[in-house]
């Protein structure tokens, strides 16, 4: 992972631990609201590559009725770069999760499921608000997939 002194100002702003914690917490919060239980830990690594990349974020469907597989088929460019982005962001996602846990924005239960403590609806009107809102959408959208492994396979992400 790049040290803070070596990060460009843009990288430090967009990939800071507080923002990653909020993005993960928004997804976990909306996942839990839709599913009735906390979000499986591995899904946290799919949120940031979907919402931090403007092209992917802008291409996300507007409602959860669109199945992930159908969306991926209709958006081959976003799909093609997803695996690379997810691997590149894994370190900063871990950093964000640690930050979120330390500041009670995220909690993890005994089964390794993540809960978020953030109000997704209160953040509208700014670019950060858009990131949080879309992360919440992705969290809710991922409840439509039975197993986290299915999302990883569809997105072409391997550990």
Return the domain boundaries, the chain: 16-155
- Please give the radius of gyration of the chain, using alpha carbons only, rounded to the nearest integer: 14
Q: Three-class SS of residue 158?
A: coil
Q: CA torsion angle for 112, 57, 77, 97 (degrees, to 10)?
A: -30
With 70 as the cut, is the pLDDT of residue 147 above it?
A: yes
With 90 as the cut, is the pLDDT of residue 27 above it?
A: yes
Instruction: Report percent pLDDT > 70 for the chain.
Output: 87
Instruction: Report percent pLDDT > 90 for the chain.
Output: 79
pTM of the entire predicted model? 0.89
Mean pLDDT rounded to a whole number for the chain: 90
Phi-psi region of 9 (alpha: psi -120 to 50; beta: other; left: phi over 0): alpha
Q: Encode pLDDT of 51-83 as tens digits.
A: 999 999 999 999 999 999 999 999 999 999 999
């Amino acid at each position: 992972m790049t040290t803070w002194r070596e990060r460009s100002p843009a990288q430090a702003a967009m990939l800071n631990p507080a923002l990653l914690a909020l993005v993960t917490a928004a997804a976990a919060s909306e996942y839990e609201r839709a599913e009735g239980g906390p979000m499986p830990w591995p899904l946290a690594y799919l949120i940031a590559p979907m919402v931090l990349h403007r092209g992917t974020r802008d291409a996300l469907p507007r409602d959860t009725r669109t199945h992930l597989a159908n969306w991926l088929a209709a958006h081959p460019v976003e799909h093609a770069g997803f695996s690379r982005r997810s691997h590149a962001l894994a370190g900063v996602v871990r950093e964000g999760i640690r930050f979120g846990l330390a500041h009670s924005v995220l909690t993890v239960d005994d089964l390794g499921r993540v809960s978020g403590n953030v109000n997704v609806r209160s953040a509208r009107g700014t670019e950060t608000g858009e990131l949080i809102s879309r992360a919440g959408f992705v969290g809710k959208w991922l409840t439509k997939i039975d197993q986290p492994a299915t999302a990883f396979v569809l997105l072409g992400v391997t550990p």
